Chain A
Amino acid sequence: MSSSYLILTTIIIFLLIFLYISWIFISNEIENKKETGERRDFLYTASYALGAVGLGAAVWPLVDQMNPDASVKALSTTEVDISNIDVGKSITVLWRGKPVFIRRRTQEEIIESQNTKLTELKDPQKDQDRVKKPEWLVMLGVCTHLGCVPLGGKGDYKGWFCPCHGSHYDKSGRIRKGPAPTNLPIPKYEFVDNNTIKIG
């Protein structure tokens, strides 16, 4: 990335110098012969265009430095021991600074979630598509409206309720009512063994 960047910048600088010099030549010519401006117009446009590209190339590092850095990216997986979560209980773990809900669902919850009609949903998704094993619901605890952490076992659907602007989620974490546009997202995760989940 950085070496290709260097090459690009060098080429642009050379082109700019080239354009600048030829522009001086042309303007001398114009002064001497009062030539029409076509060649000059082309050079103006070309140098402005290249100047804009060069400026963009110079500004990009200043913009990109704000993106997640290497140390932030390095923290992108978390392993969680789930052996001591009882049926009907949930835990919350931090993954990339965000809460992840891990819930061991009861049989009734699973059946209720699987039997919900898709037509009732704002963001239709089958419960089967939201879990790897029906007993375990693993999802981001981040409201899809503006990012608050919803409260468990609350709201009109006894799933999750976001206190910030009143979004109601059902027992599968699907949005049912309120300003949030989509279901609680499912992060990338896998079962390493029966007792461990790797998130990320």
Chain B
Amino acid sequence: MSEEKYIPKSKIGQWFDSRLPLLSLMHHLRDYPTPKNLNYWWTFGAILTFCLIAQIITGLVLAMHYVAHADLAFESVEHIMRNVNYGWLIRYFHANGSSMFFLAVYIHIFRALFYGSYKSPREMIWILGMLIYILMMATAFMGYVLPWGQMSFWAATVITNLFSAIPFIGESIVTWLWGGYSVDSPMLTRFYSLHYLLPFLIFALVILHIWALHIPGNNNPVGIDIKQPSKDTVPFSPYIAVKDLYALIIFLIITAGFVFFAPNILSHPDNYIKANPLVTPTHIVPEWYLLPFYAILRAVPSKLGGVIVMFASLFILMFLPWLDTSKVRSAVFKPLSKLFFWVLVIDVVILGYIGANPPEGLYLLIGRVATIYYFLHFILVLPVLGYKEKTIPLPISISDPVLGGQPNISTTRSREDIKEKQHD
């Protein structure tokens, strides 16, 4: 970071900071130079940090009343809803908060895809982000099991059974996960233990994620490198902080809308029936944020194959920085990439829709086509576009489009210039 060294004003501050540079850290976070052209898609990082903290606080409170035992879990959640003061509010906030958390993370991820934020030198940020996303899915899945309703129970059964697809050792792994011969109390208690732990691991990864971000600095809608600090940057506080706060308030209003007016609209009524190992609900579906992966799982007509392809659809994202060969980051300057970005968004939405429907007839066919396209996007479309696409010339500085609207041709650089730049 090319900031001047910070020295606290007071003597005691200097004493403290030379022993533990927390004040320097605060100073860095406050003055951290941010590109001045960041749009509202960039506010979701702050929103996500808020979501994580909100989940931890509401979860901590739920944990004071919740009982992790197959005979008592369902009743203890009803107890939270009916007897605990404001228990209904805290539980609805935790349950809907998790959906809002995923909404925010999906926007955040697609933001990165659109503006090429995963590209060099930000690969580490992207990989840490993917790890966070995977842990989030694990956390939310285990949280969903805790109320021990019918959906909890059967989601746990189906998902843990995925491991039985592993040749030879699959069955023993499943027994090990269950701590028994079926989904029951031993599994519930360990899921509770892990559901409590993982958010703190996520928290640690978020710190690394932000650390890795503060090395190269933020990407921006134009996607070009900027000097920091310079005329192109503004200090994080107050400029970006206030913008983030404004977006967060809007986000909270929407969250409150769910919590107060439609607290169960995103969940499934069957989860208000206590778990029954003898009866599977006729239509089991995961939470909405896992539906695309569920569709991919079911698109493959083989048990092991489905599991492999589903995990592949997640892990392929890790390699994205190397699959995308384009020298230009932002899709603003890549008309074809922009088009294919939206095709991918639609493809994922279709997969989500298919995941919510039974895998029969036309649904199955569409699910298969959408799954194939999903992979083609990453292993064919992106690499080829990177080599072949003719990009629009980039502006020299971000001030240009910010102040002038359209990029001014006289102040633009061509693709070749950039290539040369990267060679020196």
Contact = CB atoms under 8 A, between A and B. Distances in A.
Contacts of B161: 145-147
A163 B180 contact: no
B252 interface: no
Interface string B173-214: 001111111111010001000000000000000000000000
Consensus secondary structure, chain A interface: loop
Nearest to A200: B181
A163 B183 CA distance: 19
Contacts of A163: 280-284
B158 A69 contact: no
B158 A66 contact: no
A72 B359 contact: no
Interface string A106-144: 000000000000000000000000000000000001000
Contacts of A92: 278
A103 to B, nearest CB: 15
A67 B182 contact: no
A66 B157 contact: no
B173 to A, nearest CB: 10
B162 interface: yes
B405 interface: no
Interface in B128-169: 154, 157-158, 160-162, 164
B12 to A, nearest CB: 45
Interface string A79-96: 000000000000010101
A181 B303 contact: yes
Given A146-B158, A149-B279, A164-B280, A66 B184 contact: no
Contact of B302 (A63, A94, A146, A179): A179
A97 B162 contact: no
A165 interface: yes
A68 B190 contact: no
Most chain A Cβ neighbours within 10 Å, of B179, B180, B360 = B180
A148 interface: yes
A165 B181 CA distance: 22
A66 B183 CA distance: 13
Contacts of A69: 179, 186
A180 interface: yes
A198 interface: no
B116 interface: no
Nearest to A63: B176
A94 B278 contact: yes
Interface in A160-176: 162-166
A99 interface: yes
Given A97-B184, A99-B277, A147-B161, A166 B360 contact: yes
A76 B283 CA distance: 31
A92 to B, nearest CB: 6
B301 interface: yes
Interface string A176-194: 0001110000000000000
B238 interface: no
A179 B306 contact: yes
A66 B359 contact: no
A108 to B, nearest CB: 27
B175 A179 contact: no
B358 interface: yes
Contact of B175 (A63, A68, A146): A68
Nearest to B278: A99
Interface string B357-384: 0111000000000000000000000000
Given A92-B278, A179-B301, A181-B303, A68 B154 contact: no
Contacts of A158: none
Contacts of B360: 166
Given A68-B175, A165-B359, A145 B303 contact: yes
A108 B317 CA distance: 55
Contacts of A145: 161, 303
B361 to A, nearest CB: 10
A96 B179 contact: no
Nearest to B281: A163
Contacts of A99: 277-278
Given A165-B359, A179-B302, A146 B157 contact: yes
B369 to A, nearest CB: 18
A98 B280 CA distance: 12
B94 interface: no
Interface of A: 63, 66-69, 72, 76, 92, 94, 96-99, 141, 145-149, 162-166, 179-181
Given A149-B280, A163-B280, A179-B301, 5 more contacts: A92-B278, A97-B180, A97-B277, A99-B277, A164-B154
17 contacts: A66-B179, A67-B176, A68-B175, A72-B181, A94-B277, A94-B278, A97-B180, A97-B184, A99-B277, A146-B164, A164-B158, A164-B284, A165-B298, A179-B301, A179-B302, A180-B303, A181-B303
Interface of B: 154, 157-158, 160-162, 164, 175-184, 186, 190, 277-284, 298, 301-303, 306, 358-360
Which A-B residue pairs are the 9 nearest by beta carbons? A97-B182, A96-B181, A146-B161, A148-B280, A147-B161, A146-B158, A149-B280, A147-B157, A72-B180
